[in-house]
Structure 1
Amino acid sequence: MKAFLPRSPARTVGRLALVLVAFCSVSIARDLDQDEALRLRQQGVIMPLEQLLKQALDLYPGAKLLEAELEEKHDVYIYEVELLTVEGVARELHLEAATGRLIKDKED
């Protein structure tokens, strides 16, 4: 029969921290569907996707669009755009949907 050993406070806090990190990382970003994106565009909250795609493709002439998603992160709408450059490099760009400001551009 095993003896009951109380958990140390550090171990309990460590487990709680892991749970909070997992919860926060799930709740940070939310993908929006087409209907919600259209509603936000019609309300003037976000810029048209076509305009932001042109901006992204102008950074990498000749690149091909792989994927575009609208997400909400920390109450900010962000277009996540994935491109394949003519050199065969995948790029991930994050553009603020309200202003078109480039937030991130990294090799994917």
Structure 2
Amino acid sequence: MVFRILHGQTGGVVRLMVFGEIDLAVHDQLRDGILGAVGTPGITAVVVDLGAVPMLDSGGIGILVAGRTAAQKHRIGYEVCRARWHIRNVLDAVGVLDVLTDAS
């Protein structure tokens, strides 16, 4: 599966639908997509949908956390949703599942 990010917006909420494996080859694309959405004027929240992501490496986890940090600085909501069970388990094991999946 080729990596891609589809953007959707309803009101002030941007939804990023991520497709494909998140590894070193796509870190810049993921970072740019998330930080670009977070920095968009008028946005109230960003939702990162991982439902079509079969693999997430440690660098990708760091990017998801950086997105949350950026969202906090912009005072907007940020949530990661629909992660597959094995990705949820990894996020839980490294201690970020609750932070990333709690709509803020």
Higher strand residue share: 1
TM range (shorter): under 0.3
More helix by share: 2
* Structure ID, larger Rg: 1
Higher relative contact order (CA 8 A, sep 6+): 2
Query: TM-score w.r.t. structure 1 length?
Result: 0.23
